[in-house]
Structure formats: C-alpha cells, structure tokens
Amino acid sequence: MSRPGGYSLASYGRMIDCEPRMGVYAEALRRAVTPGCTVIDLGASFGAFALLACQYGAGQVIAIEPDPSIELLVPLARANGCEDRITIIRDISANYTPEVKADVIVSDCRGTVPLFQHHIATLADARARLLAPGGTLLPMRDTLKIALAQSPEKYRAMVHPWQRNAYGLDLAAGARFAANAMDKAYLKPRALVSAPVDLAVLDYRTITEPDIDSRVTMVAGRAGRVDGILAWFEAEIAEGLGYSNAPGEPPLVYGQMFLPLEGNPRLAEGERIDLRFRGTLVDGEYVWNWDWQVFDRAGSPRGRVARQSTFLAQVHSTKALGNASNQHVPQLDAAIMLDRDCLALVGEGRTLDVIAKTLQDRHPEHLPTYKAALDHVVKCLGRYRS
Ligand SMILES: C[S@@+](CC[C@H](N)C(=O)[O-])C[C@H]1O[C@@H](n2cnc3c(N)ncnc32)[C@H](O)[C@@H]1O
C-alpha cells in the first residue's frame, strides 16, 4: 500500500479548528472511551485524538502515522501529562501488528469525500486486525450524497480559458481535459438544482470494497442550466453524532466534490438526469466516471448518453507511456547506474558515509561533492521507505 500524505502542519492545524467536525469527534471519543481502555488513533498526524483519548481516561493509546508531524506528539504528550500512556507507530497501519487489540479506533482519513486513496482498505484492515471483538470504530458510517448543481462561476473557470481568449489563440484541444476535471467546491444551497439523493452508504463496520458503481435519477426542481454534479457526505461518527459538508452546513476542511457536466445542459423544471456514477481505485487514487443523460418530462431521452471521467482530465506524457510499453528496452543511463551502485553498496552493509564516498569516487561527473553524493544516497533510499 502506498504511503499517504501531502499535508502541511498548517493544514493539520485547520483540521483541529474545523467545527463541528472536531467537536463531534471529541464527543464521540468521550462517550466511547472507558476507564483504562485501549485506543488507536489511526492517521494521528500530531495526535490530537490520542491526547483527547488520554484526557477521557484511556489506559493506553497507540498513535499511528507515517507523516513526520507525528514527532510533535512527543512534546505534546509530555505537555499534556500522558507520555507514559501513548505509543507512537511511525508507519502506516497495515504494517503494524498489535500486541493487544483496541477497544476504540478513531480516524479521519477522508479527502473531499470518504472514498479517498486507501481509506476503505485501511479501515477494513484495521477492523479485522486491530479492533477487539465488540470494539468501536469512529467513524461508524458515511453516506455519500449527490445533486445537480448550478455554478456558472465554477463552470466558466473550468471551460472558458479553452473556449475564448483575447489573443486569438485556438486552445480548444484543452477543453476536453478541463471538462473532465474534478474540483473542490464550497457551494451554497441555492446552487442545488435537484434534491440530493444517496449515492452510497459506507458502513465502516462491514465495508470491504473500495469501489462504487451507483445509478441515480435527479429531477430538476427549477428551470436553468446544470453546470455540474455536486457530491458530499453525511458523517455518522457514532450513533446520533454526526456532521456534514453539505451546502448550507458550516464549511468544513473537506469542501465538496464538483464534477462539471460537459455542455452544461439547460433543464426545464421536472426534467431529469439519469446518472451512472463510478468510483474506481486505481494505483491509490480514485478515477471518477459519470455517465449521464437528460430525459424530458414525458420520460423521453434528450440527446445521447454523455460519458465523462477524471481519467480524461489527465494529459499523459507520450514519453512516459512509451516507457511503460512492454516492448520498450530501457537504457542503462547515469541515473540508473547511480542507483544500481548505491543499492549494491547497501547490500554490502556499508554506512551512508562509505556509500557516499564510493559513489562520489565512481561518478565524479554526477556527484562532484561529498554533500551531493550523500544527498543522493539519502534520497535514493528514501524511495524504498514506506
Ligand atoms: C485527514 S488527516 C487527519 C488527521 C487527524 N487524525 C485529524 O483528524 O485531525 C489523515 C491522516 O491519516 C494519515 N493516514 C492515512 N492513511 C493511513 C494509514 N493507513 N495508516 C496511518 N496513517 C494514515 C495521513 O498521513 C494523514 O496524516
């Protein structure tokens, strides 16, 4: 499983300030923690949930996080008087084998929506291997919602640069990519053209499959253009305790997911869009496919099925595609030779100092200084550490 990440300390800070998210998690944790129990803070960042679990009486807390922000938990645990109860695991949860299973596992590894990177597999694995029988998973369940949305600003920002410009340039070839790109949004209720419908229920107590494939119908509640579809989620952290990033709710760190509808169709009130929505996890990231068709009030199709996908938003490098062909014969270039020698020296059990000096000796044109050689070795080995 690839390593999650990409958060800055500032963004972790914003998560703590994000209400009602934080308050709901804190209350769910307070209710779930029993005196002396074991809690896992999965995806802890600097361990705010771990510290709270201690405050609420946990006997032992395991904070699991591969991001370096976890180092902050050392002084924080000391400052909060709970360093003797917190164990830090600097890794992803899949690589952790517990001595004792946890009574409570708390996590928030969602992105804009809960289908994000390896979130589902991570929770399914944690439930199976790290949670004691009858233990509590926080969150308990998320419901993915979707609606037709009108946002001329978002649509224009996405497609306009490729349609028109003041310089007489034909940029139309870029339009297809832009029209298939997902964007983060913070839309208000007035942007919704249809009532929200449920796309998927993700029950973390049972879920195993990361992909979704749903068909829904959305009826226009008023006439107007439909610029895209908007997805968000309703979180149930525990029974009766939840929050949502729906339009109209306080804006949360997640934002909402906006997917444009190519050609932004104009719908009359009562006309509908039938949608097939798929989320497929490919190499650690979701590819979103949305196939849709407009139907008039009599139920007759207006136009053909439009097929959109975030896959079509990616501009692929022809060089990279060629390099991935099974007929490609890779050349032993300088970068490969450096890595080959570096890894061979690792295999001989040398210190970084010896490896760097040997590499500098052998490849002075690429590693002119000891520092350059040492940096290269550290970077090369970093690619093999999860
Ligand atoms: C959205 S942040 C949440 C941070 C903090 N728990 C909170 O809710 O404020 C998610 C964190 O989960 C971590 N993460 C994702 N998958 C993980 C895994 N399998 N094991 C451990 N940490 C993981 C990421 O590195 C990231 O720091």
pLDDT of 17-47, one tens digit each?
999 999 999 999 999 999 999 999 999 999 9
Does residue 373 have a pLDDT over 60?
yes
**SS (HEC) of 271-294:** CEEEEEEEEEEECCEEEEEEEEEE
The b-or-e profile of 116-125 (16+ CB within 10 A means b, else e) is: bbbbbbbbbb
pLDDT per residue as tens digits for the range 238-289? 999 999 999 999 999 999 999 999 999 999 999 999 999 999 999 999 999 9
Does residue 322 have a pLDDT over 60?
yes
C-alpha to C-alpha distance for 267 and 373, rounded to whole angstroms:
63
Nearest CA to ligand 1 atom 12: 43
Please state the φ and ψ torsions of residue 101, each to the nearest 5 degrees.
-80, 155
Does residue 2 have a pLDDT over 90?
no
Residue 92 alpha carbon to ligand 1 centre in Å:
9
pLDDT band at 159 (very low <50, low <70, confident <90, very high): confident
**SS (HEC) of 16-59:** HHCCCHHHHHHHHHHHHCCCCCEEEEECCCCCHHHHHHHHCCCC
Does residue 386 have a pLDDT over 60?
no
CATH 3.40.50.1820 fits 142-315, yes or no: no
Classified by CATH at the fold level, domain 9-138 comes out as: Rossmann fold (3.40.50)
**CB of 125 shorter than 6 A to ligand 1:** no
C-alpha to C-alpha distance for 275 and 294, rounded to whole angstroms:
9
**CB of 18 shorter than 6 A to ligand 1:** no
Does residue 290 have a pLDDT over 80?
yes
Which of 272, 1, 29, 4 lies closest to 137, judged by CA? Answer: 29
Residue 132 alpha carbon to ligand 1 centre in Å:
21
Does residue 66 have a pLDDT over 60?
yes
Place of tokens 């136009």: 303
**CB of 47 shorter than 6 A to ligand 1:** no
Residue 1 has what pLDDT?
A: 65
